[in-house]
Amino acid sequence: MKNITRRDFGKSVAAAAAAAALPKFAIGQSMAAPRQFPQGFLWGCATAAYQIEGAAAEDGRGPSVWDIFSHTPGKTYNGDTGDVADDSYHLYKRDVQLLHDLGVQTYRMSISWSRVFPEGKGMPNPKGIDYYDRVVDELLANHITPYITLFHWDLPAALPGGWQSRDTSKAFADYAAYMTRHLGDRVRHFMTTNEFTCFTDLGYREGRFAPGLKLADGPANQVRHNGILAHGLAVQAIRANTPAGTQVGLAENATVFVPVIETPENIEAARRATRLGNAPFLTAVLEGKYMDAYLRHEGANAPQVEPGDFKAIGSPLDFVGLNIYTPTYVRASRSAWGFEVEQPPASYPHMASPWLTIGPECIYWGVRNVCDVWKVPAVYITENGCSSDDVLTPEGRVEDTDRVMYLRNHLANLHRAAAEGYPVKGYFLWSLLDNFEWADGYSKRFGIHYVDFPTERRYPKLSAEWYRDVIAQNMVE
């Protein structure tokens, strides 16, 4: 057989294509149809206040539980804190310019409750309010629509009992009323809370997040209830204090159940698992009650519910935000639940964070299951992204091809949901910047802009270049 060099092989392929009158595609170019998203689909990025702002003790901001937790030895990687983070408190105009350069239409940001109310309630802090006025106005001047999350885990440390107290739920509603009334002339999209399980279970049951407690099941379940009650009371407060047409939702990291094989039986198993696996949080919010199966399972440890609680908790929402990163595979079974979870083997691929297993179909099933089970009017992907072992080259580049792979495959699956008619309205990539990654400190990078923390200089990664093109074309190839 003739020894064909790589160059000869390329010539042979080109010649064969020409002879067969094939379309003129460059070698390696996909012949698949591009995945065009619906007209008006919104592209954005997401961040959280404690992860990027810094200025932890400036201009009257009070401490949050994360300030105390991160300053407690052994609680975060390397003792890292959010004291400075990305210094976005001072560099917000630079960050808005990064958003502008990407071409996004939207930006999901959170407000530090203790920057507005240093004691969690009482007198507001004018300098804290002024800061958020400046950020919102800068976004609008750059034609970027703010989507604001009112609580992204940084609970004011001054509130007695934290989420163990019903009074905290009421204080949150008062804060939500004040802040949305103040911003409601310019902001029309609000999310109450971010990821119930992270600020309840991880903070009060497992102790891995602030405030670092390990409560028994009964008190921990009451914390869960106080969390969803806070959401419901805040929805009512926002409705009462903003103009008609204001959109209200939440951002939830619902467990995403994916049929291990797409058979009718496994698809039904994933649907059943979606209700039961999210029973304490999203199911309770969207159904306005606890599932009987959940209450039976918890028994004497079930949360105490007071009259009127579920009238608030079940308040209708304009949209559901889903934070989606990784799948939980299920198959149909003869168990009482009708499904069983498939445990991934040790060889299962993951990103830099060990928990972040790769399964891009989860974004499709997350949307599909939530829409099929609860018939929600609209869905946003309020977070999706990944950690990577990013390296800044001497030329100032970060070639994060693994992140591009992760994002491309997730967006291809999100397009599947949109093409099938599910009401997906927008996508917020996590995250605009490398930032303080909670208990992982600065050891994990999720941003599409590399941050050199000693200098606070931002560098766009390959993923930022790729995402800019996706936005410009409103499609993923």
DSSP 88-157: HHHHHHHHHHHHHHHT-SEEEEE--HHHH-TTSSSS--HHHHHHHHHHHHHHHHTT-EEEEEEESS--BT
Burial letters 27-47, b for 16+ CB under 10 A, else e: eeeeeeeebebeeebbbbbbb
**pLDDT tens readout for residues 233-263:** 999 999 999 999 999 999 999 999 999 999 9
pTM of the model: 0.93
12 within some domain? no
Q: How far apart are CA 162 and CA 229, in angstroms?
A: 14
pLDDT digits (tens, 9 = 90+) for 397-448: 999 999 999 999 999 999 999 999 999 999 999 999 999 999 999 999 999 9
Name residue 181's beta-bridge partners: none
Q: Is 383 marked active-site?
A: yes
195 classed as catalytic: yes
What's the whole-number mean pLDDT along residues 94-118?
Answer: 98
In the predicted structure, residue 5 carries a pLDDT above the cut 70: no
Q: Which domain holds residue 215?
A: 34-476
The pLDDT of residue 386: 98
Torsion angle in degrees (nearest 10) through CA of 399, 405, 408, 414? -140
Query: pLDDT higher for 9 or 433?
Result: 433
Residue 5 lies in a domain: no
**Across 81-98, average pLDDT:** 98
Assigned domain for 9 exists: no
Please classify residue 88 by burial: count the beta carbons closer than 10 Å to its beta carbon, then call 0-12 exposed, 13-18 middle and 19+ buried: buried
Give the CATH number for residue 379: 3.20.20.80
Domain count, the chain: 1
In a domain, 4, yes or no: no
The verdict on residue 353 lying in a domain is yes
Q: Please report, rounded to a whole number, the percentage of residues in the chain having pLDDT higher than 70.
A: 93
- The answer to whether residue 434 sits within a structural domain is yes
Among residues 53, 138, 361, 383, the one annotated as catalytic is 383
Q: Is 436 inside any structural domain?
A: yes
Catalytic residue among 53, 195, 252, 437: 195
427 falls within a domain: yes
Tokens of 7: 């160059």
